[in-house]
Amino acid sequence: MTGVIESLNISASPYINAILSIVAFVVIAKAADLFVGKVLSRFTKFTKSDIDDRVLDTVHRPVYFTIILIGVVLAIAYLKPSQKVLFYADGIIYSVMTVIWMMTAVKISNIVIEDAIHKVSDVTGLSKDIIPLIENVSKIAIIIAALMVALSLWKINITPIIASAGIAGAAVALAAKDTIANFFGGLSVFADRPFKIGDFIVIDKGERGEVVAIGIRSTRIKTLDDVMITIPNAIIAGSKIVNESAPTPNLRVRIPVNVAYGSDIDLVEKTLIEIALQNGNILNDPAPKVFFNAFGDSALNLELLCWIKEPALRLRTVDEINRGIYKKFSERGIKIPFPQREVHLYQG
């Protein structure tokens, strides 16, 4: 700083140099403000998002006042006060700068959080009511960081404070380990995106249903019985998840069919295909197929494979197909056998 001051000495009077320093930095601040407000703002208009415009609008005034405060620091140095006065003057000015940028960082974080939550909620259905909570957490973190900077400016040893904060943080982490696990589980769900709102999923615990909400702490699914199940995200993150709606919403169903020995296999296959194609929930492409799987003890084992439009229609479609099979088989004389055993008695 001393070399800069000596190189910028214009007058023999330190007071004139101090005034000129402040005036020069006011001009520089105004030029920087115009550059940020007029020049950079033109480039941000070419982007699709308005977040950069909002950030620039938030930043340009703090930049203006920061440059002026730097000029004030330089002006005070021109006056060559005592070390004690210089220490307190610099401490006050830098503390003011810290407060200005702390408030700016809070505003920018709120802008980024709000934009990010709106984008995530459109995909996952995350409630926008969580925005104030995340903003408050971010605000506390920024204030704590600014406080640490301010204390270091005043040469206050912050090591004991950091140590105490570490101990308190460890105690809080142990007390709220389940909540923290669910929180990070929610982050993993948002990062990996194994499912989204409206998907039908099956968890390895056996729960199956439609995803209706994805929160920071838990995920809610609605079963076909219209029962709402809330599952902690820590369990979701550690479970095997079958997403029946991905990569496409179509789902293949398998319907086992047994017919009696001696039945016309070609007729059975033709009948099953007709029944499937007459159902409005079944897709024509891929076309339904019938496979002859095995010779059973009492019947010929076949399987009808067909694709339905969405997983929610599975039970209804299987019911309609089974009803159609029973009626058509009766009309065409195709027998559905039941397990039976022949007993032969021999008299010795």
Any idea where the domains of the chain sit in the sequence?
A: 2-173, 189-243, 251-331
Among all chains, which residue has been given the structure tokens 């058509």?
328
pLDDT given at position 114: 85
Question: Strand, helix or coil at 228?
Answer: strand
Name residues of the chain where pLDDT drops below 50: 1-7
Phi, psi of 178 (to 5 degrees): -65, -40
- Cα–Cα distance, 48 to 158 (Å, whole number): 43
**Whether the Cβ atoms of residue 40 and residue 32 lie closer than 8 Å to each other:** no
- Report pLDDT for 279: 94
Say which residue the tokens 């971010």 belong to.
138
Residue count (the chain): 348
Pick from 224, 199, 226: nearest CA to 212: 199
Per-residue model confidence (pLDDT) at position 9: 58
CB 25 within 8 A of CB 68: yes
**Three-state DSSP class for residue 179:** helix
pLDDT value for 93:
93
How much is the pLDDT for 2?
Answer: 42
Token pair of 175 as six digits: 């007390």
d(CA 96, CA 326): 83
CATH for 251-331, options being 3.30.930.10, 3.20.20.30, 3.30.70.100, 3.40.50.2000: 3.30.70.100
Q: What are phi and psi of 47, to 5 degrees?
A: -90, 155
- Convert the pLDDT of each residue in 204-258 to its tens digit: 877 889 998 887 788 889 988 889 999 888 888 888 889 988 888 888 999 999 9
Whole-number pLDDT of residue 122: 61
Whole-structure pTM value: 0.59
What token pair was written down for 210?
């439609």
CATH no., domain 189-243: 2.30.30.60
> CA end-to-end span of the chain, whole Å?
122
- Residue that has been written with the tokens 């969580």 in this structure: 130
